[in-house]
């Protein structure tokens, strides 16, 4: 892997770094200030998907969000991605209001969302092609990105020839190929088996450490959040809001069997269960 090809902002090493270690890149910060989102529902009763949410995502941070179904996690991610705008309040990305989606915000969804008629390589190249990047550069960047997720050998395979875990790796490669400043992940590993999920988590941490980007990662799984996050945002529903933000000082690589891991799991679980209080 040639980090400079994949991400010009590369600079961090693959070595284990303690949680909260400052990163070299200054980009990738998000400031969510007093954000509310009102949706009209089919029964005509409007509801607050988010109410007065404020949150800073620090440059280079791995931030996890957890909360019950319907608490507004995806709504929040969609705002940072530029897919939807707040009803009230503001969302700033590196100091500027978000005008819409763009290559700086890489998004990975739960469903693989790959084009079935394109090979892995062509799927990864697609966004670059749409932006008019020349063929040779497109190809080189897509290959570097596939290499990063360990799938260079499967570049010419179609999605139906790939396992669920491999497809999700392609989705990650497709987001990384644009050299995003933030990676927005909405339950990206929810559909894969438990063992593959653990492998993908470890690979994602390696990539995050190697290329130094900010990650906003939504999950329903407390263990996943404690394994991955520098901080864990625990959300509550009706209306969607932040219940608590839990700092995660555990050094990496983290050991799920350790007492400190279990203690943090219990802390997040307690905040999760104390919904509505």
Ligand X SMILES: Nc1ncnc2c1ncn2[C@@H]1O[C@H](COP(=O)(O)OP(=O)(O)OP(=O)(O)O)[C@@H](O)[C@H]1O
Query: What residues line the site for Mg ion (CB under 5 A)?
Result: 74
Task: Determine if the peptide bond prior to 263 is cis (ω within 30°).
Answer: no
Q: How far apart are CA 118 and CA 132, in angstroms?
A: 18
Binding residues for ligand X restricted to 181-220, rule: CB under 6 A: none
Residue 70 partner contact from Mg ion, ligand X, none using kind-dependent CB cut-offs of 5 to 8 Å? ligand X
Query: Under the criterion CB under 6 A, does residue 277 sit at the interface with ligand X?
Result: no
Report the partner that residue 75 touches, choosing among ligand X, Mg ion, none (CB closer than 5 to 8 A by kind).
ligand X
Judged by CB under 6 A, does residue 70 bind ligand X?
A: yes
Give CA–CA dist 264/275, Å, rounded. Answer: 18
The neighbouring-strand residues paired with 216 are: 63, 184
CA distances from 138 to 124, 134, 170, 250 (A): 9, 6, 15, 39
Q: Contact between 39 and ligand X (CB under 6 A)? A: yes
Q: What share of the chain is helix, strand, coil (3-state, %, to 5)?
A: 35, 20, 45
Told to check if 36 binds ligand X by CB under 6 A, we report no
241 binding ligand X? (CB under 6 A): no
53 binds ligand X (CB under 6 A): no
- Give the list of residues 6+ apart from residue 14 with CB closer than 8 angstroms, or none: 206, 209, 210
Q: Candidates 11-19, 71-79, 114-122, 246-254 — which segment interacts with ligand X by CB under 6 A?
A: 71-79
Give the 3-state secondary structure of residue 32: strand
Among 29, 36, 75, 178, indicate the residue that binds ligand X (CB under 6 A).
75
> Is there binding between residue 46 and ligand X (CB under 6 A)?
no
Task: Give residues in contact with ligand X (CB under 6 A).
Answer: 39, 41, 47, 49, 67, 69-75, 240
């Amino acid at each position: 892997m040639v980090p400079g090809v994949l991400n010009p902002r590369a600079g961090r090493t693959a070595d284990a770094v303690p949680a909260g270690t400052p990163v070299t890149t200054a980009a990738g910060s998000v400031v969510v200030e007093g954000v509310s989102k009102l949706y009209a529902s089919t029964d005509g009763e409007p509801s607050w998907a988010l109410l007065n949410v404020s949150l800073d995502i620090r440059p280079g941070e791995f931030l996890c969000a957890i909360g019950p179904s319907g608490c507004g996690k995806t709504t929040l991610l969609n705002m940072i991605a530029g897919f939807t705008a707040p009803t009230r309040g503001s969302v700033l990305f590196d100091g500027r209001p978000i005008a819409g989606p763009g290559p700086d915000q890489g998004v990975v969804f739960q469903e693989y969302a790959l084009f079935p008629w394109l090979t892995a390589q062509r799927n990864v190249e697609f966004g670059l092609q749409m932006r008019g990047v020349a063929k040779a550069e497109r190809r080189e960047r897509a290959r570097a990105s596939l290499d990063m997720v360990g799938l260079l050998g499967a570049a010419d395979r179609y999605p139906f020839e790939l396992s669920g875990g491999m497809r999700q790796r392609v989705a990650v490669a497709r987001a990384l190929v644009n050299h995003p400043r933030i990676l927005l992940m909405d339950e990206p590993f929810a559909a894969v088996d438990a063992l593959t999920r653990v492998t993908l988590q470890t690979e994602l941490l390696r990539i995050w450490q190697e290329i130094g980007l900010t990650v906003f990662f939504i999950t329903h799984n407390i263990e996943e959040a404690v394994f991955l996050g520098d901080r864990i945002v625990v959300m509550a529903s009706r209306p969607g809001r932040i219940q608590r933000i839990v700092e995660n000082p555990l050094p990496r690589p983290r050991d799920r069997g350790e007492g400190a891991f279990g203690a943090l799991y219990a802390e997040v679980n307690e905040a999760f269960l104390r919904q509505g209080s």
